[in-house]
Structure 1
Amino acid sequence: MTIGKNMGREHHMTSAVSAADIAPTAYAWEIRATGLKVRVGRKRMAVDGLDLSLGTGVHGLLGPNGAGKTTLIRTLATVLRPTEGSLELLGESVGGMGEHRAVRRRIGYLPQEFGYYKRFTVREFVEYMAWLKEVPKADIPAAVQRAVERVGLADRADERMKALSGGMVRRVGIAQAIVNDPTILLLDEPTAGLDPAQRLRFRELLQELGKDTCVLVSTHLVEDVAAACTDVVLFAEGRLVFQGPPDELASAGGPEHVGDSPLERGYSALLLNPEQGRGTW
């Protein structure tokens, strides 16, 4: 979400919500897409006939540049509308023109790039995002404190955003994505700019979140998927090539395929021969 572009559009999303509105609910699938197509521009179908079901757990979204990963993430975040097919989030169809407020307040979203007021402190920015997400006013201070603690920024919470390094800004982005305790968490390249130690802590956070949240992490780092994800979604040319556990992806490759690890070799093998993976989903 880019604040500068969305503040006016999001401003209406601030009315009070009841406890019933935010009570937990069990779903067969948190995310379910059937024949989903999303067009970018006039011609290109960035998501092309996707059938995908995701439940609680950490799902790693892999694919080469231009595969359609970011378009898919933005569609699941309700930033883009489907061109064709159906999309259900938390049991609600989101393919039409509705606001889908009840769904949106249960989604956490970290785009590749997000805007912020540079004079905001970390705490003020995360508070503002909690307000946009309709977190009850009385709950915001505790929710913000918990979010900044989980990303290791409690000691920097009162520093201005403009003074932070790129990696710290990325961690603030993760904090705003989880401040509303989302049921669906969508993260687009969340480890970009993080140093190795921060990436390790982030993997631990993912594993914790995946116990009761449907987490979809788009990344180009296969090792992050191996370390933190229980499910891999391999995407290429707008289509699902593979979905399954990491060890199943690893078994698809051999010594003749490019990669420094079994998972990387499996990834390379399925990109070379997509039909090899189609029987797994």
Structure 2
Amino acid sequence: MRVVNAAETAPTGYAEAVTATGLKVRAGRRMAVDGLDLALGTGVHGLLGPNGAGKTTLIRALATVLRPAEGSLDLLGLPATGNPREVRRKLGYLPQDFGFYPRFTVREFVTYLAWLKEMSKVDIPAAVQRAIEKVGLADRADDRMKTLSGGMLRRAGIAQAIVNSPELVLLDEPTVGLDPAQRVEFRGLLRELGEHSCVVVSTHLVEDVAAACTDVVLIASGRLVWQGTPAALAAAGGADDVGDSPTERGYSALLAAHTDRRGADW
């Protein structure tokens, strides 16, 4: 039995897992995140917005891949502009497109990412097995990555993101390639992760947000448009708004109101 050290049992020293004030982040020459104020704590936060809203750039900044151009960003109580290694040990990140060695098995792939996250060598085998089982790939654990379908590859990517039991989980379009049954299972996994971690899910699927998230963050043009519960999002729309469900109509209504306000400002 492994002895738990004091650092592992010490209480967290931060109020929110993510705190951004006046955050600006560049994507190439464009300021994709442009003056964002945001605070995220424990729970599942659905990140919504139209194409070009800055969702992926924001996720990359939260993952310490991109550095802020202006403003402040604290992750798990640490400044994002400092040494990223300490934060990276405590976060899980699944980008839209992730790389892997095709000849690795699923187990080898997740094990390699656990090693990159500087997990204890003693803890890695059991953690890898748990992560693989959670995403439903236990029967494919020793198959090579190159033999997996697109949906299975996505699940392997989710497994590596959660292998270190992260305090901050960042998932960019995680349900791409998953069939309806797998999406339902994934929503259950999100709810489980959100009980103890801050989970940020960027997606275009509004219904996934309604089913799995405790909080919705709507951004457009790199700025926060609206933040609230899925129920409040659904209540924001009316029968005349675009969408096939109350949640979609609320999303459309809030975006339209934001566009109208910007037009008035111009």
TM-score interval, normalised by the smaller of the two chains: over 0.9
User: Does residue 77 in structure 1 map to residue 63 in structure 2?
Assistant: yes
User: 3-state SS of the aligned residue for 1:267?
Assistant: helix
Equivalent of 2:22 in 35, 45, 65: 35
Equivalent of 1:91 in 68, 77, 86: 77
Q: 1:143, 1:179 within 8 Å by CA — same for their partners in 2?
A: yes
User: 3-state SS of the aligned residue for 1:130?
Assistant: helix
Q: Distance in 1 between matches of 2:46 and 2:221?
A: 17
**Residue in 2 aligned with 1:106?**
90
- Deviating 4+ runs (over 2 angstroms): 18-27
**Residue in 2 aligned with 1:268?**
252
> 1:23, CA displacement in angstroms?
4.7
Q: Distance in 1 between matches of 2:232 and 2:37?
A: 19
Q: Distance in 2 between matches of 1:236 and 1:189?
A: 17
**Residue in 2 aligned with 1:257?**
241
Output one character per residue of 1:39-78: Cα deviation in whole Å (capped at 9) or x when no partner.
Answer: 1222x21001000000000000001111100000000000
Q: 1:21, 1:102 within 8 Å by CA — same for their partners in 2?
A: no
Amino acid corresponding to residue 65 of structure 2 in structure 1? V
Matches within 5 A, 1:125-136: 125-136=109-120
Q: 1:58, 1:229 within 8 Å by CA — same for their partners in 2?
A: yes
Amino acid corresponding to residue 19 of structure 2 in structure 1? R
Q: Distance in 2 between matches of 1:176 and 1:127?
A: 8
Q: Distance in 2 between matches of 1:190 and 1:76?
A: 16
Equivalent of 2:145 in 161, 164, 167: 161
Q: Where does the alignment leave 5 or more consecutive residues of structure 1 unmatched?
A: 1-17
Amino acid corresponding to residue 45 of structure 2 in structure 1? H
**Residue in 1 aligned with 2:41?**
55
TM-score between the two structures when normalised by the length of structure 1: 0.89
Matches within 5 A, 1:183-198: 183-198=167-182
User: 3-state SS of the aligned residue for 2:34?
Assistant: strand
Amino acid corresponding to residue 179 of structure 2 in structure 1? D
Cα root mean square deviation, aligned: 1.7
> 1:276, CA displacement in angstroms?
8.9
Amino acid corresponding to residue 40 of structure 1 in structure 2? A
User: 3-state SS of the aligned residue for 1:168?
Assistant: helix
> 1:151, CA displacement in angstroms?
0.2
Q: Distance in 2 between matches of 1:24 and 1:163?
A: 43
> 1:24, CA displacement in angstroms?
5.7
**Residue in 1 aligned with 2:103?**
119
Q: Distance in 1 between matches of 2:36 and 2:224?
A: 6
Amino acid corresponding to residue 212 of structure 2 in structure 1? A
User: Does residue 227 in structure 1 map to residue 214 in structure 2?
Assistant: no
